[in-house]
Amino acid sequence: MTFKAQILEGIPDQLPNKKPYETEINHAPKRKTILSPEEEKLALRNALRYFDKKHHNTLINEFKHELDTYGRIYMYRLRPDYKMYARPISDYPAQSKQAAAIMLMIQNNLDNAVAQHPHELITYGGNGGVFSNWAQYRLTLKYLAEMNDEQTLVMYSGHPMGLFPSHKEAPRVVVTNGMMVPNYSKPDDWEKFNALGVTQYGQMTAGSYMYIGPQGIVHGTTITVLNAFRKINKTPKGNLFVTSGLGGMSGAQPKAGNIAGCITVCAEVNPKITQVRLDQGWIDEKITDLDELVARVEKAKAEKQTVSIAYLGNIVEVWQKFDEANVHIDLGSDQTSLHNPWAGGYYPMGLSFEEANQMMSKDPEAFKKKVQETLCLHTDAINKHTAKGTYFFDYGNAFLLEASRAGADIMAENGIDFKYSSYVQDIMGPMCFDYGFGPFRWVCASGKPEDLAKTDTIACEVLEEIKRHSPEEIQQQMSDNIQWIKGAQANKLVVGSQARILYADAEGRAKIAEAFNQAIAKGDIETVILGRDHHDVSGTDSPYRETSNIYDGSRFTADMAIQNVIGDSFRGATWVSIHNGGGVGWGEVINGGFGMVIDGTKEASKRLKSMLFWDVNNGISRRSWARNEGAVFAIKRAMEMEPNLKVTLPNLVDDEIIDAL
């Protein structure tokens, strides 16, 4: 069958042949056994409802085997025969160009070169799923191929509920992931309800079809590293950044270190993903011996080299060895998936990668104990380095939170705060988010590298023009982004779709998008898909990351994220999403995202101006109300630029009045 025919077929009437388990693919670890015998029967009933009764006898034992062997029913048999990647938009069978764009983005999320565990439909983070099983994938793409511009596809945590009548200005798809009743958001709740097949962890851009490979976080990581060195009054050249994790998100760290110009050591326990990052050029060197690592770092320091080195092993070994060898670490962090600590997000010392994977499913309590012991050792080693002058920051992966839960020496003297700040508290929040700067991204739907190069040029020209008239308060942000976009082609950041990301405020996003729309109208480039990371000014309420620099007591509320997705949906987004769970954990964050197709029309111009303005200024207004100085400046400036914007401003109280009580 042709590619288009397979899409239109959906769930086939005749079952395809069983597929071999491909050992060369990076697979998800086995999930722990958590369902009771009766719940296992329910999971099987839930899986079989996707299929005609005539197939039930064939599939029930197969699905039972998957549940017993992997802890989930993935329906491997239904995995498509065609290669999974973002095709040019014209290759998709669709009545709606908007729907075709969404199909393109879904397939990019599941590309073997992009996804962490592609056969388990997991894009990154160990559990960030696009779908829970392959039947959902097939049915969703069939619906997208059939839908018209007066229908909306409703997605319940990977399950396509169906096509519903709507109208042309409505989103073509509305996505929810993991939206649990609040008391059911503990880690074991995810394990249970995901195993039942009734919810999933969409992470952030995984479950909202807007992941663009590691590039999506490279830019933010580059800005973080640059500003972290500025914070400690050092230049990156010849200085050392130590961190860990080379997965879908964390794999961006060594590339960002190279762009920033420092020495990066990034530890990773998974040999497959380490080799992938080496083959992709996202790391320069791989080292397996600690003494060799010390010698290599000392040489790089002496020669002021810019180099990224992967250490294949546990990060705690690196911190301990560098302390013993007196190797000074300038910046330290961690970006393992500690939002998912018991199911492959963080690996303990003293076990091989394979042994750890076996223990986490066969003896989860012993595995949890090992992880917590390692977190205590990890923290002790970090504390020794910070006593020598290392600047350590939490990279929003819940390291500080899980270390505190493990009983590590991580709390400040007041017993309430952590010893170390989140990177959002110290760097990204006050320097970027408060001023409206966040990860704006786009994908060239033609799949042509030349279209991406043209959009880079357009974006650079727009930013340079804006910078000429920008206030002093945002000159550094503008300069960093212009430097980034000028080097984007040379840094070979594309993995998967022809995509780009840069940090821009509302003015920058709208003007860049409008310039793209005009270029499409002229025929200079083809259709463009706009989006952003959820890790942004407005999209996410996350008390230990995105909103960690909110100090009025509201950082544990989620009004902003909910208002954001509601507002995007009626201001012109092509699709919208809202998720429970993200980079800091299930139950720890609510985040929302969007995608927008621009096609050179007047309607697209109207939509992008309306939606992008709201999408940013919603967050600035909330940050302003929290009394964040940069946000107060930014929202006042936004009101001057847009007469229809009227935001409640805070009245500041003198400290003397409060202190006198």
Here the tokens at position 193 are 């309800």
In the block, residue with structure tokens 């962490």: 116
268 marked as binding residue: yes
Give the end-to-end CA distance of the chain in Å, rounded to a whole number.
77
76 marked as binding residue: no
- With contact defined as beta carbons under 8 Å apart, do 634 and 471 qualify? no
User: How far, in Å, CA of 612 to CA of 11, rounded?
Assistant: 37
User: How far, in Å, CA of 114 to CA of 561, rounded?
Assistant: 27
518 marked as binding residue: no
User: How far, in Å, CA of 495 to CA of 16, rounded?
Assistant: 30
407 marked as binding residue: no
Q: Which of 534, 503, 478, 482 is nearest to 428 (CA)?
A: 503
Question: β-pairing, 173-177 with 528-532?
Answer: unpaired
Count the residues in the chain.
Answer: 661
Question: β-pairing, 285-287 with 307-312?
Answer: parallel
Q: Which of 448, 569, 595, 613 is nearest to 520 (CA)?
A: 448
For the CA atoms of 99, 105, 110, 114, what is the dihedral angle to 10 degrees?
Answer: 170
The sign one gets for the Cα dihedral 273, 275, 279, 281 is positive
189: CB partners within 8 A, 6+ apart: 180, 586, 587
User: How far, in Å, CA of 282 to CA of 255, rounded?
Assistant: 5
Region of 40 (left: φ > 0; alpha: ψ -120 to 50; beta: rest) is alpha
- With contact defined as beta carbons under 8 Å apart, do 136 and 127 qualify? no
126 marked as binding residue: yes
- With contact defined as beta carbons under 8 Å apart, do 266 and 276 qualify? no
Helices (H) and strands (E) in the chain, counts: 23, 17
Binding residues: 125-126, 203, 268, 395, 583
Binding residues for NAD(+): 125-126, 203, 268, 395, 583
